[in-house]
Amino acid sequence: MDIRLDDDLLKAYITLVPGEKEELYTKEQILAELAMNNVIYGIKVDVIEEIVQNQLVYIDKLIAEGDLPVEGENGFYEYFFNKDLDTKPIILEDGSADYSSLNKMETVYEGQIIAEYHKATKGKFGRNIKGSQIFARNGRELQTLKGSGFSVNEDRTIYRADIAGKIEYKNGKIEITDILTIEGDIDTSTGNANFSGDIAIKGNVMAGSRVKAGGNIYVAGYVESADLQAEGDVILQNGMQGGGKGKIVAGGEVSGKFFEQVKINAGGNVNANAIMHCNITTKEKVIVSGKRGVIVGGVINAVSGVTATIIGSMAEVRTDLNIGYKTDPLPDIIIREEEIKNLIGEIRRIDETIKTTVYYIDKENRKDLSQKKIHLLKTKIERNSEISFVTNQRNILLDTLEKAKDAKIIVNRAIYPKCRIKINGSMLIIKEEFNNVIVKRKGLDVCLFAME
């Protein structure tokens, strides 16, 4: 008889060959042959009995099989809210954006279960046909969820909302924040709105009103010449007619169907279907969508660039676009680097002086040096604070330099005369109509390139 073992020792096969005297094989003979090959686990006795009973020859039969190890499953979270909420606007057939779709937010009530953790399972060891154990990995546990506005039970499996409000999953954290919902309009008769969380206004924001939020501002209606300030995003389902007095300041993005005669300062992108005679400053991009997506008049300052269908107008309205940095940040970056280097050197010298002072205090009982030690420690704290401040300034400049590196203007249809373009300090005045072009800096010049 022929015994064959797989390389992984998880299976053994047997083939019987008739002897010269055509003697019958017995169960004992087969078991003895397996034992000679050290096959002691997972033996299929029923198969041996079938082979012996029918004297199966020249047939390869699986006669022993080990147990595969079962790897433990990693722990995982089951979320009871939409943590991947799509906050992008719906793009309509004409290419314009439907900003009414942006007012989607996930809300929870106090005590609601927002997530459940399913713990990792242990692995189950396997065994090969020679009886040796096969290692199985245990599942890996995940870290406890981080964020605010919720709590977890003692065994860290059930997470519940502590407050009613808006829930978001971003940057690996769950944040539940208060929402102030205003059912109607905000005007001078209702007073201004000032809230630490998000503000959702279902009506309009009238002229002379002020809305200030520690989170985001959502407005379902129209906005007149009001003052909107948000540490997060400002999202207008319709638009804003600022009348030259309207103002928006946002730490994040600003979005709306249109902006006319509005001053905007944003940390993120400014998105619209039309921008007319506005003064806009953003650390990211200005993006105007749709077949009639136009920027006309005013001043646009965008570090990363501008995308629009039409810029300017056939009436040759002056439109200024300043892209990238106004002044080269590299010299200031070098100055900040030198300041940081000098401050680090000063701290090292302070550390040496502190070390010497402590030595005299401890070894020579110079108690008169205690005040000097305190002064040195205070100075060190001040210098470390200065390093943090200067480092932050340097990082902002580096970020601007990186964003401005590939700054460009994308014109999907037409750019008209009287548009003044400045990219990273170099100027180009458009003197004739150009279609489907990309405007970017090449060397020291601002050039137009045909769109591929």
pLDDT of residue 1: 82
Q: Output DSSP code: residue 191.
A: -
Q: For residues 12 and 44, what is the distance between their CA atoms, to the nearest angstrom?
A: 10
Q: For residues 130 and 114, what is the distance between their CA atoms, to the nearest angstrom?
A: 49
For residue 334, count other CB atoms closer than 10 A to its CB.
12
Cα-based distances in Å from 333 to 30, 323, 388, 390, 393: 82, 20, 15, 10, 8
The sign of the dihedral angle between the CA atoms of 441, 447, 448, 449 is negative
Pick from 10, 7, 24: which is nearest to 68 by CA? 10
Is 329 in contact with 401 (CB distance < 8 Å)? yes
Q: What are phi and psi of 278, to 5 degrees?
A: -110, 160
pLDDT of residue 101: 57
For the segment 92-131, what is each residue's pLDDT rounded down to a tens digit?
Answer: 777 777 766 555 678 889 999 999 999 999 999 999 999 9
How far, in whole angstroms, is CA 290 from its chain's centroid?
A: 27
Cα-based distances in Å from 222 to 204, 233, 239, 325: 5, 17, 6, 33
Is 308 in contact with 294 (CB distance < 8 Å)? yes
Q: What are phi and psi of 356, to 5 degrees?
A: -65, -40
Work out the angle between the directed axes of helices 45-54 and 27-36 (0-180°, nearest 10).
Answer: 130
pLDDT of residue 410: 94
Four-CA torsion 6, 12, 15, 21, nearest 10 degrees: 120
Helices (H) and strands (E) in the chain, counts: 4, 36
For residue 110, count other CB atoms closer than 10 A to its CB.
12
Q: For residues 107 and 86, what is the distance between their CA atoms, to the nearest angstrom?
A: 14
What is the pLDDT confidence band of residue 79, given thresholds at 50, 70 and 90? Answer: very high
For the segment 381-440, what is each residue's pLDDT rounded down to a tens digit?
Answer: 999 999 999 999 999 888 888 888 889 999 999 999 999 999 998 999 999 999 999 999
Pick from 412, 414, 430, 434: which is nearest to 422 by CA? 430
Is 270 in contact with 280 (CB distance < 8 Å)? yes
Where exactly are the structural domains of the chain?
2-65, 76-87+104-176, 180-327+406-450, 331-405
Q: Which distant-in-sequence residues (6+ apart) come within 8 Å of 423 by Cβ?
A: 323, 324, 407, 408, 409, 439, 440, 441, 446
What is the pLDDT confidence band of residue 190, given thresholds at 50, 70 and 90? Answer: confident
Beta strands in 324-377 (DSSP E): none
What is the pLDDT confidence band of residue 37, given thresholds at 50, 70 and 90? Answer: very high
Q: For residues 130 and 287, what is the distance between their CA atoms, to the nearest angstrom?
A: 68
Asked if pLDDT for residue 261 goes beyond 90, the answer is: yes
Tell me how far apart the terminal alpha carbons of the chain are, to the nearest angstrom: 74
Amino acid at 96: S
For the segment 199-257, what is each residue's pLDDT rounded down to a tens digit?
Answer: 989 999 999 999 999 989 999 999 999 999 999 999 999 999 999 999 999 999 999 99
Q: What is the mean pLDDT of residues 77-102?
A: 75
Is 309 in contact with 292 (CB distance < 8 Å)? yes
How far, in whole angstroms, is CA 358 from its chain's centroid?
A: 47
pLDDT of residue 13: 95
Q: For residues 292 and 307, what is the distance between their CA atoms, to the nearest angstrom?
A: 13
pLDDT of residue 364: 80
For the segment 323-363, what is each residue's pLDDT rounded down to a tens digit?
Answer: 988 777 888 899 999 999 999 999 999 999 999 998 888 88
What is the pLDDT confidence band of residue 22, given thresholds at 50, 70 and 90? Answer: low
Q: What is the mean pLDDT of residues 178-187?
A: 88
Q: Output DSSP code: residue 291.
A: T
Residue 368's Cβ-count burial label (10 Å; 0-12, 13-18, 19+) is exposed
Q: Which residue has the higher pLDDT, 401 or 42?
A: 42
Q: For residues 60 and 6, what is the distance between their CA atoms, to the nearest angstrom?
A: 13
